[in-house]
A = this chain, B = another copy of it.
Amino acid sequence: MGTQPQIPLEPRKTPVQARSTVTVEAIYEATFQVLLAVGPDSLTTTRVAERAGVSVGTLYQYFPNKQSLLLSALEKHLDRVVSAVELACRRNHGQQVSTMIESVVEAFVDAKMERSDISMALYATAVGVQERALVNKVGKRARTAMASMLATVPDATFADLPFTSLMLFSAMGGATRAVLEAGSSPRMVRLLRKQLVLLCRGFLMSVADQA
């Protein structure tokens, strides 16, 4: 992939036609599968195209280069997860802390586990500058949403909402990743869900300025 020069990153054409959408979707799916099957180092554009059932040429019609393909795939996944978190946050403005936490944890874990294979596959992508930027951008969205929500807690305030959100979100991410990489058995996922709630709630109560 080289030293990340200034290359276009956005998908080349917005898929408006139905056929295109199907093709692009197939390419994304193939990307995840290849990533999972052979790892990031052996992911080649030809292999992805093959798995997607199209030719390399076609792949390059929709993505200007390999980097953009991987980035788009990553973005797609992260966006889905963060959108779920944002939604949960918006819906819980003004609720009790406990309710908030339960909803957000549930939304996050569900979103991650819905396509646990993809989640795993993406942990395996090489994290270059661009990926880091993307992860940061998306992470910020999640933290902002959480901060906004936490600001509406009825009978408590938080001294440093941005940092508190960072702690919360990164702890959730860390624990979930650990469970995924440990195989994410149903039992573990159940435990994760429950204990993540405890962990977040305990943390928030510790840092809250009780009114």
Contacts and interface: CB of A to CB of B under 8 A. Distances in A.
Query: How many chain copies?
Result: 4
Contacts of A188: 163
Grouping DSSP codes into helix (H, G, I), strand (E, B) and loop, the A interface class, with mixed when no group exceeds half, is helix
Contacts of A163: 188, 191, 195
Interface residues of A, number: 50
A51 interface: no
A131 to B, nearest CB: 9
Nearest to A182: B166
A172 B199 CA distance: 12
A22 interface: no
Interface string A1-40: 1111000000000000000000000000000000000111
26 contacts: A2-B41, A3-B38, A3-B41, A4-B39, A4-B41, A39-B127, A41-B126, A123-B127, A124-B127, A124-B128, A136-B181, A163-B191, A163-B195, A166-B175, A166-B179, A167-B175, A167-B192, A169-B178, A170-B175, A171-B175, A173-B174, A174-B174, A174-B175, A199-B202, A199-B203, A202-B206
